[in-house]
């Protein structure tokens, strides 16, 4: 039986034009907490996907796609196959007081299956926010190592006939067989439980998942100023009830660095110039039609983000580059029966 959806706060949103817009689209087992070379969190099959942005505001919508690349149909000895997986979707956004609140639900993928949901239908409680998806055993709801899911997000802005996309950040589980007593039988195979410390939170520290980056890099942006250019930054944080503080380092095209402090709660989305007015006048060299710069975001909290740049009806979005690593955790809605916790 699919588990019921749950939410901490409730509010409704709708996107009547979104359907019309869619029709137009003709670590090894003994891993240490930190490793010498940070593994990739971009475009790899993983056990957790984090989408920094979904947008379900009026005249907007987001398609969230997840694919199970495991096509194994070996029986687990029960009603499930070794390629079956449950996906736990947890959506986050700010409430009216600025605190993070959550809405979650579970979906199921068979071997080689793929699923696309419209965020507004899948989560009718939020207009925008961020999402993380974790793999669970479909029988026990234990979080498990299942480095086989990939995904993408397509954001449609039907009011302006604008569409852009990005790929989520992918975090592989490092708990692999032998599972040191944390396993579930699946026929002749073993599924490793990805909850080494038995606590409710998911650890991104090299013991359960690979670590978070300790800084994000935006490789380039155009000066806003009077060029009819907008730079929209979205950031999520793993800190739910306190401010996340950032040090923002902005460089212009003559290698001059500017420093700016910035803080937000749960989820931020807004113009890059809201963080620093330097973006409006970079003061670099004059040999470019559009003066450019780049940015480094440093934080002791786990942050991820996407960036959209637009000039009139033209634009594109992308993920940010990740650098370094740090240990963070994310609270789980524990779906396991009380006897298994």
Nearest to 146 by CA among 187, 189, 104: 189
Contact yes or no for 309/221 (Cβ under 8 A): yes
**Where is pLDDT greater, at 334 or 75?**
75
Q: What are the φ and ψ backbone dihedral angles of 10, each rounded to 5 degrees? A: -130, 130
Chain centroid to CA 147: 16
- pLDDT interval class at 17 (50, 70, 90): very low
- pLDDT interval class at 337 (50, 70, 90): low
- Decide: helix, strand or coil at residue 16: coil
Burial class of residue 196 (count of CB atoms within 10 Å of its CB; 0-12, 13-18, 19+): middle
pLDDT at position 226, please?
65
pTM for this entry: 0.86
The answer on pLDDT for 136 being more than 80 is yes
- Min mean pLDDT across 9-18, 32-41, 293-302 is at 9-18
**Where is pLDDT greater, at 40 or 229?**
229
- Number of CB atoms found within 10 A of residue 250's CB: 21
pLDDT above 90 as % of the chain: 56
pLDDT at position 129, please?
94
Instruction: Write the pLDDT tens digit of every residue in 218-267.
Output: 999 988 876 788 899 999 999 877 899 999 999 998 889 999 999 999 99
Give the DSSP letter of residue 120: H
Contact yes or no for 158/21 (Cβ under 8 A): yes
Cα distances (Å, whole numbers) of residue 337 to 8, 141, 333: 20, 8, 12
pLDDT above 70 as % of the chain: 82
Please give the domain boundaries of the chain with CATH numbers for all domains.
6-212+330-336 (2.60.290.11), 215-325 (2.60.290.11)
Average pLDDT over residues 286-294: 77
pLDDT at position 242, please?
84
pLDDT at position 177, please?
78
Average pLDDT over residues 187-195: 83
The answer on pLDDT for 66 being more than 70 is yes
d(CA 318, CA 292): 17
d(CA 300, CA 212): 10
**Where is pLDDT greater, at 289 or 224?**
224
**Where is pLDDT greater, at 338 or 164?**
164
Instruction: Write the pLDDT tens digit of every residue in 70-129.
Output: 999 999 888 899 999 999 999 998 876 767 889 999 999 999 999 999 999 999 989 899
Concatenated DSSP letters of 300-326 = SS-EEEEEEEEETTEEEEEEPEEES-B
pLDDT at position 73, please?
93
pLDDT at position 338, please?
44
Q: What share of the chain is helix, strand, coil (3-state, %, to 5)?
A: 5, 45, 45
**Where is pLDDT greater, at 8 or 144?**
144
Arithmetic mean of pLDDT over the chain: 84
């Amino acid at each position: 039986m699919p588990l019921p959806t749950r939410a901490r706060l409730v509010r409704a949103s709708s996107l009547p034009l979104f359907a019309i817009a869619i029709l137009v689209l003709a670590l090894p087992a003994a891993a240490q907490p930190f490793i010498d070379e940070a593994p990739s969190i971009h475009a790899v099959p993983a056990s957790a996907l984090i989408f920094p942005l979904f947008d379900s505001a009026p005249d907007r919508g987001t398609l969230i796609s997840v694919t199970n690349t495991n096509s194994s149909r070996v029986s687990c000895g029960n009603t499930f196959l070794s390629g079956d997986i449950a996906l736990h979707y947890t959506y986050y956004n700010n409430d009216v007081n600025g605190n993070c609140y959550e809405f979650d639900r579970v979906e199921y993928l068979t071997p080689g299956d793929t699923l696309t949901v419209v965020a507004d239908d899948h989560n009718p409680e939020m207009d925008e926010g961020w999402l993380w998806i974790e793999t669970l055993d479909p029988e026990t709801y234990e979080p498990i190592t299942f480095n086989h899911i990939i995904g993408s997000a397509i954001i449609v802005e039907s009011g302006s006939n604008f569409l852009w996309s990005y790929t989520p950040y992918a975090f592989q589980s490092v708990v692999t067989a032998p599972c040191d007593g944390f396993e579930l039988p699946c026929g002749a195979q073993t599924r490793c439980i990805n909850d080494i410390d038995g606590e409710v939170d998911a650890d991104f520290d090299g013991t359960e998942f690979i670590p978070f980056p300790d800084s994000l890099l935006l490789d380039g942006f155009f000066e806003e100023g009077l060029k009819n250019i907008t730079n929209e930054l979205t950031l999520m944080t793993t800190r739910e009830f306190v401010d996340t503080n950032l040090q923002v380092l902005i460089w212009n095209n003559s290698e001059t660095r500017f420093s700016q402090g910035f803080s937000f709660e749960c989820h931020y989305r807004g113009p890059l110039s809201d963080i620093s007015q330097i973006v409006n006048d970079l003061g670099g060299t004059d040999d470019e039609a559009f003066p450019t710069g780049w940015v480094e975001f440093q934080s002791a909290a786990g942050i991820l983000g996407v960036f959209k740049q637009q000039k009139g009806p033209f634009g594109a979005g992308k993920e940010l580059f990740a650098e370094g690593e740090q240990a963070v955790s994310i609270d789980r809605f524990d779906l396991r029966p009380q006897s298994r916790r």
